[in-house]
Amino acid sequence: MSATPSRSYYLWNIGCQMNKADAWRLADALHQRGYRQIRAPDQAELMILNTCVVRQSAEDKVLGRLLSLKPYASEKGRDLLVMGCFVDDPQALRERYPFVAGFFAPSDLDGVLRHVDRRGNAQPSNTAESFSGRVAEMVPLSYGCDHHCTYCLVQLRRGAQRSRSIAEIRADCADLVARGAREITLLGQNVDAYGQDLPDATDLADVLEAVHEIPELVRIRFLTSHPRDLSLRLIETAARLPKVCESWELPVQSGDDLVLKRMGRGYTAEHYRELVEAIRTAMPQAAINTDMIVGFPGETLEQYERSLAMVRDLRFNAVHIAPYSERPGTAATVWEDDISSVEKELRYSEMDQLQTAIATERSAAFVDQEVEVLAETRQKGRWRGRTRGNQIVFFESREHCLGKLVRLRITWAGPWSMVGEFAGLIDSPSSAP
């Protein structure tokens, strides 16, 4: 048995931005209890897995990591905790994995912390106020989803949408800004539907207005949007508020109407194209990312080519492509998963090559241009930050740039990141790329 540092924890995270936000908040709460994060699970008193099962590949990784920790979880004084979308039936999981000390539903941070507190080994930290140190933070504005996309487990695992109040969201954002955050990303499985479950007529545009008023906050982002619920009011509000970045995550999933109908998405390809046009009209510098599923049950070659044409026509900044993966319990399982893995891989590769070429061309247009970047971290002697359009940029400077807006002249651009030359600090945000 390895020596176990007192009040230490290992946290493994996989999945969506909501999972990442949960992991960050859990780490902050553990720090406040005097726990120290370490990278070696065999040295940790607490081992926590924050899981995802959106695709079979993610579930396979979760199972691999879970079983790899079994020898350590069996040692006295150590607890293995599992949370996230892997946890659908805690009782059944306890019977199957008796070496796990606790299973917790997605975003059930309170449950995890109650377990930790019952261990009785907490020691409040004197540095809790300054722990996070993150320039770019994430704040959930809702949990769950009311849509029933036929391929998706989110509604089954995270439940119906539960929106937080604007006052609560704004208070969380203000607290993070007071601790050093300069950018806030507002999160939801479907941010555009925010407020539909609340008694008053509140929507995401109202949240943006409220958060925009926080002094010292310089940037606001939000994700993920749903074409079914995205309104012109939201587009107009985002374009009007200078702190809101010109960056959109707007998953389309397919460019074919019949496939979209079978997916249960609730819109047509033409409606999606109109939304993209509306965004680019209101925000000419907008960077738009999307998601595509290839090889959905019954997807013909012609239908796939409509998705490919949409990528070619709309020239997204990024496309997150996924071969269809059957998920037990979803409505799509009534159809045969009839596209071979070889064909799925061919479609994936063709679309990926197309998007890489588009992203390369888009990035090349920034060379010799000046951009506004928020410096977020320093890595291997270089600063790392993002443009308002969410492009990653690396640069060198002797200035202390952490948390500051800087002006950079782009000297090199690849499809997924760029390099810039420091051109000075910026006093206030602009509407630059």
User: What is the CATH classification number for the domain harbouring 13?
Assistant: 3.40.50.12160
pTM of this prediction exceeds 0.85: yes
Q: How confident is the model at residue 4 (pLDDT cuts 50, 70, 90)?
A: low
Please give the tally of structural domains in the chain: 3
Sheet containing 102-104, strands listed edge to edge, beginning at the edge strand earlier in sequence? 36-37, 8-13, 46-51, 79-84, 102-104
- State the chain's maximal CA–CA distance in angstroms: 62
Determine, yes or no, domain membership for 127. no
* pLDDT number for residue 363: 98
Residues 252 and 355 in one domain: yes
Are 246 and 346 part of one and the same domain? yes
Mean pLDDT, the chain, as a whole number?
95
DSSP tally for the chain: helices H, then strands E: 13, 18
114 in the same domain as 165: no
Q: What pLDDT score does 128 carry?
A: 45
Give the domain range for residue 137: 132-364
Q: 2 in a domain, yes or no?
A: no
Q: Is residue 386 located within the same domain as residue 280?
A: no
Same domain, 246 and 136: yes
Q: Does residue 247 belong to any structural domain of this protein?
A: yes
The CATH number covering residue 416 comes to 2.40.50.140
Whether residue 234 sits in one domain with residue 312 = yes
pLDDT at residue 324 is higher than 50 = yes
Backbone angles phi, psi at 321, to 5 degrees: -100, 135
Give domain status of residue 401, yes or no.
yes
Name 52's Cβ contacts closer than 8 Å, sequence gap at least 6: 14, 15, 16, 19, 58, 59, 62, 84, 85, 86
Which neighbouring-strand residues pair with 12? 49
The first and second tokens of residue 87, run together, are 């946890």
- Residue 41 CA neighbour count, 13 Å, CB half: 19
- Tell me, yes or no, whether 313 and 196 share the same domain: yes
- 129 pLDDT more than 50: no
For residues 82 and 206, state if they share a domain.
no
Structure-block tokens of residue 35: 């726990």
Residue 99 burial by CB count (10 A; 0-12/13-18/19+): exposed, middle or buried? middle
pLDDT in tens, 376-411: 999 899 999 999 999 999 999 999 999 999 999 999
Tell me: do 109 and 138 sit in the same domain: no
What is the mean pLDDT of the segment spanning 140-163? 96
What does the pLDDT look like over 334-360, one tens digit per residue?
Answer: 999 999 999 999 999 999 999 999 999
**Phi, psi for residue 347 in degrees, rounded to 5:** -65, -40
